[in-house]
Amino acid sequence: MLSRVANSLYWMSRYVERAENIARLVDVNLQLMLDASKLDDKAIAGYWAPILQSSGDDEFFAKLYPKVTGRNVTEFLVFQGDNSNSIVSSITQARENARTVRDQITSELWEELNRLYLFLNSPKARTMWRQSPFEFFQEIRTSSLLLQGLTDATVVRNEGWYFTQAGRYLERADKTSRLLDVRHASLAAGYTTTQTDALGWSAVLRSCSAWDGYKALHGGQVEPKLVAEYLLLSEDFPRSVRFCVQQLNTALRRISGVAEGRFSNDAERHCGRLLAELMFSTADEILARGLHDYIDELQGKLNVIGEALFQTYILQHFSLQQEDEIRQQEEQQQQ
Amino acid sequence: MVATSATSSAAKNGTAHGIFKPYETNKYFDEMLASDGSIRPHYQRFLEHFGELTTEEFEAKRHAIDMAFLRQGITFNVYGDAQGTERVFPFDLMPRIIPSAEWAYLERGLIQRITALNMFLHDIYHEQHILKDGTIPAHYVLSAKHFRREFVNFEVPKNIYIHICGTDIIRDAKGQYLVLEDNGRCPSGVSYVLENRRALKRTFSDNFESMGVRSVEHYPAELHKLLEYVAPAGVSEPNVVLLTPGAYNSAYFEHTYLARQMGIEIVEGRDLLVRDQRVYMRTTKGLRQVHVIYRRIDDDFLDPTVFRKDSALGVPGLVGAYRAGNVSLANSIGTGVADDKVIYYFVPKMIKYYLGEDPIIPNVPTYLANEEADRKYIVEHINELVVKAANEAGGYGMLMGPQSTAAECDEFRKRVLAEPRNYIAQPVVSLSRHPTYCDNQFGGRHIDLRPFILYGEKPVIIPGGLTRVALRAGSLVVNSSQGGGSKDSWVLDGDK
Amino acid sequence: MKLHVLHRTHFAYRLPVRDSLNEVRLQPVDTTAQKVESFTLKVAPYAQPKHQLDFYSNHVHRFDVLTPHTALEVEACSIVHTSTPPDPLTGAVVPLASMSRCLDLADCFDFLQPSTYVSIDAGIAQVAAGLTAHCTDTWSAVLALQRFIRDEFHYQPAVTNVHTKMSEALRLRHGVCQDFAHVVIGLCRALKIPARYVSGYLYNGPADQLKGAQASHAWLEVYIPGHDWIGIDPTNHMQTGERHVKIATGRDYADVSPIRGTYRGTGERTLRVDVLVTHLDDVLRQHQSQSQALAHTA
C-alpha cells in the first residue's frame, strides 16, 4: 500500500472519530444542563469551561469569543472553521483525506462521508442546531456510527483497513481519557456541589456511551473510582482506553505480521508496553498516583505511539526523500 | 408527407408521447425528430417506454439521479472558483441514440484517423518523410507548441504514441458527421460515460434490457489490457499505476474512478521516485517498481528536471527512466502536436499519405490564418466565423463571430494578424440538436459526441461515448466549464 | 590541424548532494571540415554515460550519480582534424530581400524563430535594419553585423553571466563570446537570415592572440542559400577556420549547453572549468626537435 494512502486512511478515520467524540461531549453537556435549574452566567460558564479545556483549545476560544456561553462554545466546537478541531473542520479533513484515496474506500463509505459533509455545510445544519440541538448531535453521532458500521461491513480486511483501525482506536483512546480528565479537573476547581458531581460523573459515562455497561456491572451507584476503572481498564467495553489500545495493538501487528510478545518497530514496542501496563494496573494504583497526572502521562504515551507509527510507515518511505529541493547544476558560460 | 415508421400514430401526427411534446426543428438537424416532425425509427422503442412516464415520475427520476451524483461526488472542479469548487456535471435523462449502421461508420472513420495520427507522430519524431516531401509544410510541425524536439529518434514502446484518444464529433444541418478536434494528450470524460449509463440503467431498470443498447462496461478492462500491453519488454506482470496531478484537478473524480475500476494504484508525483533509471512507488512495505504509468498529467509537468522546472506535480528523473525503456507512459510524450488545431487541418492529408485512403469522416472546413489567402478571408469575414486559438481547449480562446460584438471581433482580428500561426477559423456549424429537458419542458439543444478510442494491440472503441449538450437555448458551446451538460449515448444492436 | 582538446569541469559542493542527473554535449561533431579521431568521456564518481543524437544531430551523453557526493568531475578528451573551408562566397550574391523564403526550409525554420536566449522584437529589428540599411546582399549584411560587434562591443568577462539574454547583452555592449553570438544571431534572424548558435573550442596557439580559448567557445553560423551554413566568430571578427573545433549547434546556448543537470541538495557550490587545446602537430614537431637535440648532445 502506498505510504501516502496509508496516511490518508489513518487520518480519515481519526477525524471521523474526533468529530463523533466532540458531538458526544457537547450533547451530554446539553443534557446535563437540562437537569440543572436556575443557571446564572457563572454557572453556565462552569459547565462549558471543562469542555473547552478537554479539547485543549480554550485559549484559542478566548481569542474568538468574548464570553463562555453555551451558544459560543457549541458554535466554536461545531461550526468554527478556524478551529481545526471543530466538527466541521474534522469532517472536512476526513473527507479531504477520503477524497485522495477514493479508489481505496468503498463507495458506500464515501457516499455517507460526503453526505455528512454536505449536510454540515448546508444552511439546514445550522437551522437544526439552533432549533433542535439534540436532534442535530444525534444526527452526527448516527452518521459517525453509520460510517463505522459501513467500514466494518464493507471494507476489505487489507492493510488499509488496519491503518483505518489504528487511526480510529488511537483517537478514541485519547478522547476517552480526555473526557475522564474533564470531570477530574472540574472537581479540583471546586465549584461543583456533591449532587452535580455525581451528575457530572454519570455524564462522563453517558458521553462515552458507557452508562448501560457500567450500570449492568455496578448498579446505579456512580463512584468516581469505578467510573475511572471502567473507562480506563475495562477489558470489554469498546470505548475504554485498554480496549482501544488492545485494538490498536492488533492492528499494528496485522500491518507488520509480527506476533504478540515481539516487536519489529517502535510503534509496536510502545503500544505493547502500554497495553501490558493497562492490563496489569488497578484503579487504586491510578488514583493513588493522581488521576490527572496518570491521564496526562497516558496521553503522552499515545502520542508517542502515533509518532512512531508515522515514522515507521509514512515518513521512512515517503517524506524522507523529499527533504532536499531539486537544484539546477551550475552552468558554464562560453567565453 | 410519409412517416418514417408505422409504429405509433402519435409519432405520425407529431403529438405528445406522455411528457414528451414535439417542438419545431427549424433549420437544424434533430437527432430524434425528422424535419416533418415524425420520430426517427431508432428512437421509437425508447419513446414507447419513456412516453409512459408521468411528469411526476419523470421529475422524481431526475431528482434521484442528481442526488445520486452529488452524493457519490461525481463532480468536476471549476478553476478560479474559490467557493464551490465542486459541481455536478448536469445530466440530461433523455439518451442520445445512434443506430448500429451509423456507429459502424463512425467506428471505421475513427480507427482510420487514430491509425494515421499514430503513423504521423512516428514519422515526425523519426524520418519526417511527410515534412521532407512537403505534404505538410515543415514549419507547421516545428512551430507546434507541443512538438518535443527532445524525443526525436526515440523509440516508444510498441510504437504507439496516442494510446487513448478522445475525438470530438459533431453533425451539421444535414446530419453529416464531422470531426471537430482530436484530444491525444489526456482526454477526459469517460467516467461520465460509464456513470451516466449506470444512472440510466437504474432509472429504466424495468425495461432497459429490452431496448437493445450495446454495453460500455468493458472500457476499464480494455484500458487495463492496453496498459499491460505496452509494458516494457520482459515484464510478465507489470505494475500499472495511474498518475494524477492530485485531488484538486478538475478530472480527479475520473482518475480515482478509473483506477478503482481497473484495480490499479492511483499515485501522485510525490508517491514515485526514480532510482537507477527505474521508477518506484513508496509503500508501507518499502519501494515497489512501477512499469506502466497511465499519466493524467501534461508533458510539461511530468519531470521537473526536463520540462517545467517549477513543477511540483511530477517525478524527477521520470523522463530518464522512460528513455531508458524501464517504464512506459500512456500517452507517450509529444502527442500534443496532434491536438494543435493547425495540425488538425492536415489530418485528411495524413490519412491519404499514410493509408492511401480518403478520410471516412471529414473535417470541418478550416481556414489557416497563417496562409495568406485564408487570413484575408478570416479578417474580412470574422463575424461569420468561429475563430480558435490553435492550442486552447475547453471552449477558451475562442470567438463565435455571429454572437460577438464588433469590439470582440476587432480584438480577435488583431490577435489573428499578430500571431497567424496560432489561429484557425471555421464556418459556424449548426450542431445537431437533441430533445433535452430544460425549464420544465423538452426543447432542442445542441450536442456533440466524444468517443473514446483505445489504440493497443488492436483498436477498441466503446460504443457511443460522451454526448455533451449545451443547456442554454441556442448555445453552441457544450463544454462543462461553459454551462454544458451530458447525456448517455446509446448505440443500438440494430438500426431500430 | 590535428588538435587535442581537454575539457574538464569540476563541481564542488560544501554539503553532500545526490540524485544528480546530467546531460552533456561535449563530443565534437563530424563535418566536412572536421573529423573526430577519438573521443573519451570520464565521470567521477564513476557513472556510465549513455549516448544519443539530439534533434540537431549533436552528440548527447546522459549519466546520473545517485549516491551522495561532494564533488563531480567530468572530463572530455577529443582529438580532431580540422581544415579551413574554401572561401565559399566568391562572386556569390544572394539578395537580402529574398531571404524570407528560407522560412519554408525545414532545416532553417527553427533558426529564424525567437528562442530561449534570443528574442526578436520591433526594437531589435530596427537595430538590424539600421546597421544594414546600405546592404542588398545577404553576406555583406552579415559582415556589417559582425563589424557592429567589433566596433561597438567590449570583450569583458564577468559583466554578463551564463543566463544573460541577448537583449540584455545588446543593451550592455559588453560581454563574452556567448553574448556576442546571441546578439548577432538575433540581428540576423530579425533580417530573416537563418542563424544558429555553435558551441566549440578555439586553438589560439602558439602565441596567445585570440579571445575565448580559456573556456569553451561560441560563435554562430548563418545560412546562405547555395552555400550552406557558414561559420563566423564575432568575438574575433573572423570567419571560422581550422582553429575552430565545433561541438554542437542549436537555436542558442540553451540547446547546446556543455553540461546541464539537476541534483538534490542544498548548500554552497563552486564550478571550475579547464579547457586546454593543443596543436598536436606542434607538439610532435617540438618533440622531434627535442629528441634531435638530445641525439646531438648524446
The model's pLDDT over C66-89, given as tens digits with 9 standing for 90+, comes to 889 999 999 999 999 999 877 666
**Section B7-35 average pLDDT:** 73
What is the pLDDT at residue A196?
60
What is the pLDDT at residue A181?
83
Q: pLDDT tens, C227-276? A: 889 999 999 999 999 999 999 999 999 999 999 998 888 888 999 999 99
| CB neighbour list of residue A71: distance below 8 Å, 6 or more residues apart | none
Q: Is the pLDDT of residue B193 over 90?
A: yes
What is the pLDDT at residue B84?
44
Chains that touch A (3 or more CB pairs under 8 A): B, C
- Proportion of chain B above pLDDT 90, given as a percent: 62
> For A102-111, B64-73, B188-197, C219-228, which range has the lowest pLDDT when averaged over its residues?
B64-73
Going by pLDDT thresholds of 50, 70 and 90, the confidence category of residue B395 is low
Q: pLDDT tens, A128-181? A: 988 888 888 888 888 988 998 988 888 888 899 999 999 999 999 999 998 888
Q: Is C23 left (phi over 0), alpha (psi -120 to 50) or beta?
A: beta
Q: Is the pLDDT of residue A321 over 70?
A: no
Q: E strand or H helix at B91, and its extent?
A: strand B91-98
Going by pLDDT thresholds of 50, 70 and 90, the confidence category of residue B56 is confident
Q: Cβ contact (<8 Å) for C264 and A326?
A: yes
Are B479 and B168 within 8 A, CB to CB?
A: no
Q: Is the peptide bond before C45 cis (omega within 30 degrees of 0)?
A: yes
- Contact C54/B at CB under 8 A: yes
Q: Is the pLDDT of residue B277 over 50?
A: yes
**Section C2-19 average pLDDT:** 93
Chains that touch C (3 or more CB pairs under 8 A): A, B
Name the maximum alpha-carbon separation found in chain A. 93
Work out the minimum CA distance from C165 to partner chain A, whole angstroms: 12
Q: What share of chain B is helix, strand, coil (3-state, %, to 5)?
A: 35, 25, 40
What is the pLDDT at residue B12?
44
Going by pLDDT thresholds of 50, 70 and 90, the confidence category of residue C92 is low
**Which residue of B130, B139, B272 is the best one to mutate when testing the C interface, meaning the one whose CB has the most C CBs within 10 A?**
B139
Q: Cβ contact (<8 Å) for A103 and B271?
A: no
Going by pLDDT thresholds of 50, 70 and 90, the confidence category of residue C90 is low
Work out the minimum CA distance from A105 to partner chain B, whole angstroms: 9
Work out the minimum CA distance from A262 to partner chain B, whole angstroms: 19
User: Rounded to whole angstroms, how far apart are CA atoms A63 and C110?
Assistant: 62
Across chain B, mean pLDDT equals: 89
**Section A310-320 average pLDDT:** 67
**Using a CB-CB distance cutoff of 8 angstroms, which residues of chain A are in contact with residue C176?**
333-335
ipTM of this complex prediction, to 2 decimal places: 0.79
Residue in A324, A328, A334 nearest the CB of C178: A334
Q: pLDDT tens, B422-477? A: 999 999 999 999 999 988 888 999 999 999 999 999 999 999 999 999 998 888 88
**Section A300-322 average pLDDT:** 77
**Using a CB-CB distance cutoff of 8 angstroms, which residues of chain B are in contact with residue C21?**
305, 316-317, 320
Q: Cβ contact (<8 Å) for B247 and A322?
A: no
Q: pLDDT tens, B118-177? A: 999 999 999 999 999 999 999 999 999 999 998 988 899 999 999 999 999 999 999 999
Instruction: Look at A244 and C66; give whichever has higher pLDDT.
Output: A244
* Residue at grid coordinates 554535449: C25
Across chain A, mean pLDDT equals: 86
Q: Is the pLDDT of residue C207 over 80?
A: no
* Residue at grid coordinates 533509471: B277
What is the pLDDT at residue A10?
94
What is the pLDDT at residue B3?
39
Going by pLDDT thresholds of 50, 70 and 90, the confidence category of residue B11 is very low
What is the pLDDT at residue B65?
86
What is the pLDDT at residue C234?
95
What is the pLDDT at residue B153?
86
Residue B282 pairs in a beta bridge with B287
Going by pLDDT thresholds of 50, 70 and 90, the confidence category of residue B82 is very low
> For B72-76, B353-357, C99-103, C219-223, which range has the lowest pLDDT when averaged over its residues?
B72-76
Name the maximum alpha-carbon separation found in chain B. 74
Going by pLDDT thresholds of 50, 70 and 90, the confidence category of residue B8 is very low
What is the pLDDT at residue C174?
94
Total-model pTM: 0.81
What is the pLDDT at residue B457?
94
Q: Is the pLDDT of residue A86 over 70?
A: yes
Q: How many Cβ atoms are within 10 Å of A66's Cβ, its own excluded?
A: 7
Q: Which residues of B211-236 are buried (b: 16+ CB within 10 A; e: fewer)?
A: bbbeebeebbebbbebbbbbbbeeee
**Which residue of B282, B287, B310, B318 is the best one to mutate when testing the A interface, meaning the one whose CB has the most A CBs within 10 A?**
B282
Q: Is the pLDDT of residue B80 over 50?
A: no
- Contact C52/B at CB under 8 A: yes
Q: pLDDT tens, A268-294? A: 999 999 999 999 999 999 988 888 899
Work out the minimum CA distance from B236 to partner chain C, whole angstroms: 26
> What are the angstrom distances between the C-alpha of B221 and each of A13, A260, B261, B264, B488?
31, 42, 8, 11, 20
Q: Which three cell numbers stand for residue C39?
A: 573521443
User: Rounded to whole angstroms, how far apart are CA atoms C102 and C196?
Assistant: 14
**Section B227-251 average pLDDT:** 92
Q: pLDDT tens, C36-62? A: 999 999 999 999 998 988 899 999 999
Q: Is the pLDDT of residue A187 over 60?
A: no
User: Rounded to whole angstroms, how far apart are CA atoms C222 and C139?
Assistant: 9
Q: Cβ contact (<8 Å) for A332 and C262?
A: no
